A = this chain, B = another copy of it.
Amino acid sequence: MENRIEKIKKQLHSQSYKLTPQREATVRVLLEHEEDHLSAEDVYLLVKEKSPEIGLATVYRTLELLSELKVVDKINFGDGVSRYDLRKEGAEHFHHHLVCVECGSVKEIEEDLLGDVEKLIESQWEFKVKDHRLTFHGICKDCQSKQQDDK
């Protein structure tokens, strides 16, 4: 934890950005909710619990900055809100998501399943892949068994 903050601090300084208390507090919230997919508002409310002075605009600015630094990924699941997802340490690519259309739960998949597909894209379409977004929509394990019960 302190480790990763230290690292982010260096990334910031290397581009003459400052690690302000607000930014640190924001990063801490993201680290504490690594599994979640928080909206800017969510982050704002959580940061506010410990640092009540922070403004929503600062949270937006911080999230955008972290996005540039590839510390977080900005995603959109189709509701009108952007969500921010911390990248795993050293992860080259964005991870995948399983979105349940019944209950709305979102599960993360770390494995990179697209190695072969990317090779195909690069050779067949001559497109140099930098990153990807992959989301499956379907029915999660829990909701599948719930549907069984209904019958």
Contacts and interface: CB of A to CB of B under 8 A. Distances in A.
B137 A133 contact: yes
Q: Say how many copies of this protein the assembly contains.
A: 2
A48 interface: no
Interface string A111-151: 00110111011000111111111111111110010000000
B133 A121 contact: no
Indicate the size class of the contact surface on chain A: 20 to 34
A28 interface: no
A113 B120 contact: yes
Contact of A137 (B76, B126, B130, B137): B130
A101 interface: yes
Nearest to A121: B136
